[in-house]
């Protein structure tokens, strides 16, 4: 179980959570786009066209981009650089796959992992290193994370963890990174002095729903990265990012020091549409605060988190 699964589920607890969120989450008219265009508009110009051959490639690219975006941000900020590789979900996937392969393959996978982490550290500490050096490692980490999320190793371990990454995947990932650097890595979004939390989870509140972690927090904004070619408003995507916000509220109420955003305030929720270089966001202050507080309390009760 996880927050994502609960938003798709049919159990009583899933349906109750969905009902609470449906009552509170805003429509697309309440979001604004950084470009000043209408949020979720089908008229938004695509900057990184989708040329992948199948949905599996798309899944790898989506997760790999999450990694690449965080690595690029880490290279830019002055502090907290090394935390970008802390507690990565991919490492748990590596541990799962190592239990299902021979010793030689296990050593090769472990060596590639260490090589990738070392390369990331070199990249984030040297502004002259190119992001292109990390593309294959990010794709490798994405494949490992998928194993962790499903809890199962692939049948064909060697075939699914290729020695040389699929060129379609790395080419697409490169285009997405180029758009990200031009559209997201700008002073109005991030500076070397920015307060950044990578891959934030919500401590006890995350564990209460079986797992929930967002992409990145920057200067009061919680971002969710999307690599889909689709542009429209999707209820489950909005429900998910608002779900993160309410889990954060629960962590605040509980004074949970284990939550990664402990001491941080979420002022805005935003989607970064990677193929379009667009940010669509909403200010929490624009929401009805009493209704928001009630929703947080209902979710806390539903997840059996004690809120004083």
Which pLDDT does position 308 carry in this prediction?
44
- For residue 307, is pLDDT > 70? no
The total number of structural domains in the chain stands at 1
Could you tell me the residue range of the domain that residue 195 belongs to? 3-302
What percent of the chain has a predicted confidence (pLDDT) above 70? Answer: 98
**Residue 271 pairs with which residues in a beta bridge?**
224, 280
222-275 pLDDT, tens digit per residue, is 999 999 999 999 999 999 999 999 999 999 999 999 999 999 999 999 999 999
Calculate mean pLDDT across residues 145-164: 78
Residue 129 lies in a domain: yes
Residue 126 lies in a domain: yes
Helices (H), 99-197: 103-124, 135-150, 157-160, 167-183
Residue 59 lies in a domain: yes
Residue 308 lies in a domain: no
> Considering the entire predicted model, what is its pTM?
0.93
CA atoms within 13 A on the CB side of 163: 2
Give dist(CA 28, CA 234) in Å, integer. Answer: 9
- For residue 152, is pLDDT > 80? no
Residue 307 lies in a domain: no
Q: How confident is the model at residue 78 (pLDDT cuts 50, 70, 90)?
A: very high
Tell me the backbone φ, ψ of residue 279, rounded to 5 degrees. Answer: -115, 125
For residues 188, 194, 200, 204, the Cα torsion angle rounded to the nearest 10 degrees is -120
Which pLDDT does position 242 carry in this prediction?
97
């Amino acid at each position: 179980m996880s927050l994502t699964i609960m938003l798709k589920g049919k159990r009583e607890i899933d349906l109750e959570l969905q009902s609470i969120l449906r009552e509170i989450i805003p429509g697309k008219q309440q979001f604004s786009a950084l470009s000043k265009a209408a949020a979720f508009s089908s008229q938004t110009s695509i900057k990184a066209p989708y040329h992948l051959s199948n949905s599996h490639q798309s899944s790898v690219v989506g997760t790999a981009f999450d990694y690449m975006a965080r690595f690029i941000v880490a290279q830019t900020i002055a502090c907290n650089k090394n935390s970008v590789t802390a507690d990565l979900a991919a490492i748990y996937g590596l541990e799962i796959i190592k239990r299902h392969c021979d010793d030689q393959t296990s050593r090769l996978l472990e060596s590639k992992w260490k090589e990738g982490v070392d390369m990331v550290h070199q990249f984030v500490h040297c502004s002259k290193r190119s992001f292109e050096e990390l593309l294959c490692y990010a794709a490798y980490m994405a494949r490992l994370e998928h194993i962790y999320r499903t809890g199962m190793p692939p049948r064909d371990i060697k075939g699914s963890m290729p020695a040389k990454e699929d060129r379609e995947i790395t080419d697409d990932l490169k285009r997405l990174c180029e758009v990200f650097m031009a559209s997201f890595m700008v002073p109005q979004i991030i500076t070397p002095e920015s307060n950044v939390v990578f891959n934030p989870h919500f401590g006890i509140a995350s564990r209460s729903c079986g797992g929930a972690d967002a992409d990145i927090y920057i200067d009061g904004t919680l971002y969710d990265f999307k690599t889909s070619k689709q542009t429209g408003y999707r209820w489950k995507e909005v429900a998910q990012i608002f779900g993160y916000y309410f889990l954060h509220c629960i962590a605040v109420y509980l004074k949970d020091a284990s939550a990664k955003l402990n001491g941080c305030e979420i002022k805005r929720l935003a989607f970064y549409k990677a193929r379009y270089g667009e940010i669509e966001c909403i200010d929490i202050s624009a929401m009805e605060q009493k209704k928001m507080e009630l929703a947080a309390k209902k979710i806390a009760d539903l997840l059996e988190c004690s809120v004083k």
